[in-house]
Structure 1
């Protein structure tokens, strides 16, 4: 959960949630807003599109139920996406107003890559949400990117998604482990998770059918996981290292 310090007090970050309705699915927005709540408080919620067109009719109930403000943008010229321009202009207005601590950009459109980069240049967080077809540049421009397929309540893994849409887990984990491990080879699970997200904004254990990072790491035959109890309250930290002796091919061959 994102937190910020203001006047000595810790509060949850204020987020602007801007939805490109032309490139997002209304069916997943309720779960998406619950995901947004993990990172901060949605103080601005807007969805952009030409609401006079039949293809956006399914959004009506979702917008009312979740108090998302629909922003009307007519298509003035065929083949030109006026919705993108309206969203970008509003985003810049909100950025310069200083009213939020971060943005959630909901789209699978690479046209928002520069917007995400510009917001991060200003020191604010950017959380992206889109389908696995989202172009890599937009994913990389975000601090964190969540594939909406994993948000579908009770849904099985999307069988239509190409396996190549997800980075191969082993080399990704081993590179992050190399960057975070101590001299003895052990890395704190939390540090490993942070490094994974830093290297790959779309990393999420749920992409690999695990609800938690620790669960995912325990399933990897090339890793060892240990629990270390710390403090008088008996709290425990998880540590991860590459299994001694190795299992299977090395990083270069993974």
Structure 2
């Protein structure tokens, strides 16, 4: 069943240039039934958002900054998120911000059994990242249009020298494997994301996990069945 998603954007903390890639990414996980962007739309800082809001049918939510130095936008977004949560109409939430103030909100939504997808820049504090089921860095959403995958793609040598990545992949494959050492790629991906919500093959310049695993040259890769399911095995198991 298709997930019904609420997309809540902290416009004070996000750029309109990410929206096209953002909504394309969200479409992989479900239907964006609610799309709202929060900010003080009377100020000059958000004037670049107008065309984007209209083009993608995103509802702007006005929030005046009552006190200097206090972010009223965060409070408005959190209150709306809780109101939407209590309607019980949604399967998940997409929180778009690089602000750690939404850490508790993400945790609270997950406590209700809903999925939380976070979207923010690579500067996003780790507590907010860890509070989400999956966190996508918006830099990879821009890459297709701006610099392309090839520009940031790491070589096999670079991947092998990344001890954290190698350890992560090997442990995930081992945890998901059968007695012969073969593991479904889907199970491997799920295992990794449960531990590290911000893991994404695109962070290394590859569009898919299978491409990243193959590029390391550390694993055997095979396709099985009519659906061409991908399985991987650590070459050290040979």
Q: TM-score, normalised by structure 1?
A: 0.84
**Quick one: distance in 2 between partners of 1:199 and 1:167?**
17
Question: Aligned ranges for residues 79-118 of structure 1 at < 5 Å?
Answer: 79-118=69-108
When the two chains are superposed, the root-mean-square deviation of aligned CA atoms in Å is 1.8
Aligned with 2:125 (options 132, 135, 138): 135
Q: Residue deviations 1:186-243, cap 9 Å, x none?
A: 1111111111111111111111111111111111122221222x2xxx3322211211
Aligned with 1:203 (options 199, 202, 208): 199
Aligned with 2:211 (options 211, 215, 224): 215
Question: Aligned ranges for residues 117-156 of structure 1 at < 5 Å?
Answer: 117-152=107-142, 153-156=144-147
Deviation at residue 23 of structure 1 after TM alignment? 0.8
Aligned with 2:230 (options 218, 227, 238): 238
**Quick one: distance in 2 between partners of 1:148 and 1:121?**
25
Q: Residue deviations 1:53-96, cap 9 Å, x none?
A: 11111000000111101001111101001000000000000000
97-106 or 167-176: bigger deviation: 167-176
Could you say which residue in structure 2 is the equivalent of 1:172?
168
Work out whether residues 173 and 233 of structure 2, in 8 Å CA contact, stay in contact via their aligned partners in 1: yes
Work out whether residues 176 and 199 of structure 1, in 8 Å CA contact, stay in contact via their aligned partners in 2: no
Q: TM-score, normalised by structure 2?
A: 0.90
Q: SS of the counterpart of 1:17?
A: strand
Structure 2, unaligned runs of 5 or more: 153-161
Aligned with 1:36 (options 5, 10, 26): 26
**Quick one: distance in 2 between partners of 1:167 and 1:33?**
33
Work out whether residues 206 and 212 of structure 1, in 8 Å CA contact, stay in contact via their aligned partners in 2: yes
Deviation at residue 12 of structure 1 after TM alignment? 1.0
Structure 1, unaligned runs of 5 or more: 1-10, 160-165, 247-254
Work out whether residues 143 and 201 of structure 1, in 8 Å CA contact, stay in contact via their aligned partners in 2: yes
Deviation at residue 108 of structure 1 after TM alignment? 0.3
Q: Higher helix fraction: Structure 1 or Structure 2?
A: 2
**Quick one: distance in 1 between partners of 2:218 and 2:102?**
38
**Quick one: distance in 2 between partners of 1:137 and 1:15?**
22
Q: SS of the counterpart of 2:57?
A: coil
Q: How many residues align?
A: 226
